[in-house]
A and B are shown apart, each in its own frame.
Chain A
Amino acid sequence: MPPVPTAHYVFLSAALFTIGVIGVLTRRNVIIILISIELMLNAVNINLVAFSNQLLSVNGQVFAIFVIVDAAAEAAVGLGILIALFRNKETVQADEMNLMKW
């Protein structure tokens, strides 16, 4: 039995990414939307590390570290916005934040 082909990792990554997309597009709770974004970023990381392993090059892992840095920054700012919104509108539902909606 040969080792797991890289295509399977990419399949897994695509599936996880889709799960994240579904979470972002269908949920109302902003916190869960942010969590779904984390899932999508992780899907990207799986891809990067899988190709890093196939090409025997450490560059993919370095990019994965940059993605993790991005995820941390995104979570911090996103949750800061969430707290500010909650203070002003007393809700965490995305579709109730419609003041700017035409």
Chain B
Amino acid sequence: MQTVLPNAFFYILAGVILGGGVITITRRNAVHAAIWLVVTLLGVAGLYLHLNAEFLAAVQVLVYIGGITVLFLFVIMLVNLEEAASERQYSGQWPLGITCAALLLIELGYFIYKGQEAFYFAESFGGTLQPNTELVALALYRDYLLPFEIASLLLLVAMVGAVVLAKKDLE
């Protein structure tokens, strides 16, 4: 009883994530693809909760769904996609693409299957994950201060770059 419920939670979420992902990449209409992307992202957020990473779950919903997906939808509405929805959906290289992806999956699956015993030897660092928010904050601002600053710089550069790219005429 104590572990059956969380385990079932994981497998349901895995189904939601994979199903949502497959539907996402097969939609003809980009808005529908974005909606199914939201379903997948919500599944991933649920998985984070399941993994005791509640801060990351909230960030996932806030940034991915509230930010990135909304950006996608915004752009979809700015560009005219009716033509694209009625055209051929898959590029000419799809047999090659599927083959490569299948090979990748087989390879990954094989090695994970062979190596799954190895996942157990990894020793715990002796840390804890609670209280989650405080620990993430400490790691971000103390251990990873420089990467954090670089990430913020990256965001700034990306923002300026996006504005420059999307601007109509640069005088």
Q: Which residue numbers of A lie inside 8 Å of B, CB to CB?
A: 1-12, 14-23, 25-29, 31-32, 34-36, 38-39, 42, 45-46, 49-59, 61-62, 64-66, 68-77, 79-84, 86-87, 91-95
CB-based contact A26/B90 at 8 Å: yes
Known interface pairs A27-B90, A75-B72, A77-B165. Does A69 touch B154 (Cβ–Cβ under 8 Å)?
Answer: yes
CB < 8 Å neighbour of B119 from A7, A14, A66, A75: A7
CB < 8 Å neighbour of A83 from B52, B79, B125, B136: B79
CB-based contact A4/B10 at 8 Å: yes
CB < 8 Å neighbour of A75 from B55, B68, B81: B68
The SS class assigned to the A binding surface is helix
What are 26 A-B pairs with beta-carbon distances under 8 A?
A10-B119, A19-B25, A25-B94, A25-B101, A27-B89, A27-B91, A28-B88, A32-B24, A35-B72, A38-B68, A39-B37, A39-B40, A45-B60, A53-B51, A55-B122, A56-B127, A58-B127, A61-B53, A65-B56, A69-B151, A77-B158, A79-B75, A80-B161, A80-B166, A91-B84, A93-B84
